[in-house]
Amino acid sequence: MRGLVTILLFFTSLVAAAQTAEDKLATTIKEFHQALVKKNTVSINQQTDKAMSYGHSNGWVETKAEMIRNLETGYLSYRSFKEDSLQVTINGNVAHARFIADIEVTLNQKDGQYHLKVLEVWVKKGNRWLLFARQAVKG
């Protein structure tokens, strides 16, 4: 019986190790979007590059500092963020992610729902991926 358990644990660890770099980054991306919903500015600060540019579908662009401030003050509040058709491509220490997003937000006390096509650019620094740029267009 111990032998069977050992074999099962071995194969389970192989399957977990088989997760691709793209899969791991996709998980990071989804965690970042949920940090926006949860207003987890500590996580957002850790997951974004200091030179980040966050472009919205209406042409508004936020810096990292502006994004964090807008979340903290409630000027911008993400109520939900859902990704569909997430595709991640990695080239060295740069990656891009494309996906369809359905986002519910409150901006300056006005509720909105958006169906967007999104491009995010991520850079790897050390062993961490950081969001460098994001742009959305109405889908």
**Nearest 5 degrees, angle CA 114-CA 116-CA 119?**
140
Please check whether residue 113 lies inside any domain of the structure. yes
Phi and psi at 104, nearest 5°, equal -110, 125
| Residue 29's CATH number | 3.10.450.50
pLDDT digits (tens, 9 = 90+) for 78-133: 999 999 999 999 999 999 999 999 999 999 999 999 999 999 999 999 999 999 99
At 129, which helix (H) or strand (E)?
A: strand 128-138
**Total domain count, the chain:** 1
pLDDT digits (tens, 9 = 90+) for 118-128: 999 999 999 99
Enter the pTM of the model: 0.85
Closest by Cα among 82, 56, 80 to 136: 56
